[in-house]
Amino acid sequence: MNSKRFALKSLVLATAVLASGLSLAQDKPLKIGVTAGPHAQIFEQVKKVAEKDGLKVQIIEFSDYIQPNAALAAGDLDANSYQHKPFLDQQVKDRGYKIVSVGYTVNYPMGIYSKKVKSLADLKPGARFGLPNDPTNGGRSLLVLQDQGLIKLRPEAGLKATPLDVIDNLKKLKFVELEAAQLARALDDLDAAAINTNFALSAGLTPGKDSIAQENAKSPYVNLIAVREQDKDKPWVAKLVKAYQSEEVRKFIQTEFKGSVLAGF
């Protein structure tokens, strides 16, 4: 009789523990990968809005552009928010990730910065010019230089142009390719560099004031929220995108960044 009662208690206890574990699993916050700077700041606001809709969010910051997609593909993140579509498309092609875009976020017009000259016209022949070393942002930088009249690219190069696609180089610029996150810190050793806005802001640079040239506002480089393909239709994804694209977040972007970062939704 005692052994039966003990077995029954054990069964009840095990069931309670299992139920508790399931509850914890359901309540576990979504892990969202972002790069440091504006993406992280904006997602702090998104987190507040999402919580009103019952969505718990844990923000995880990264210092480069490669790890957030690797972590998402590996299942260490539920989503990330830091990249534009040309970059995601290239990563999917190169690495075979099953990652898709589920909603647009913000646009960061790329800027050209220098500690040595006040304008592109002041660059001397043979000047050392820093470019991001990933294909999409490197190509983006070259397109800015082409728009500014400093270089001419092969027409077929498109968004993924490299220094090898430069067919006319007015000032004989010497291109130095570095990781995007390192360019702001390398300005002392360069004559100028194309720097993504989030990294510029993290380095204390104000795009509207400190850049000597900026990308045209109408560009294909609007950023996005990405998830694993298997998750794209899950209810939490729609809630997360809704929170990001809310009026509260739009107003925060306008107030906080004053045109350095633009809402792309």
pTM of the model: 0.70
Calculate the alpha carbon distances from 63 to 152, 208, 216 in Å: 32, 23, 26
When the pLDDT of each residue in the chain is averaged and rounded to a whole number, the result is 90
Q: Where along the chain do its domains lie?
A: 2-108+221-263, 111-214
The superfamily in CATH containing domain 111-214 is: Periplasmic binding protein-like II (3.40.190.10)
Domains 2-108+221-263 and 111-214 share a fold: yes
pLDDT digits (tens, 9 = 90+) for 10-21: 444 444 444 443
Cβ neighbors of 265 (< 8 A, separation 6 or more) are 103, 104, 105, 244, 245, 250
Check: CATH 3.30.460.10 for 2-108+221-263?
Answer: no
pLDDT digits (tens, 9 = 90+) for 175-193: 999 999 999 999 999 999 9
pLDDT digits (tens, 9 = 90+) for 190-227: 999 999 988 998 899 988 889 999 987 677 889 999 99
pLDDT digits (tens, 9 = 90+) for 58-86: 999 999 999 999 999 999 999 999 999 99
The whole-angstrom separation of Cα 89 and Cα 44 is 26
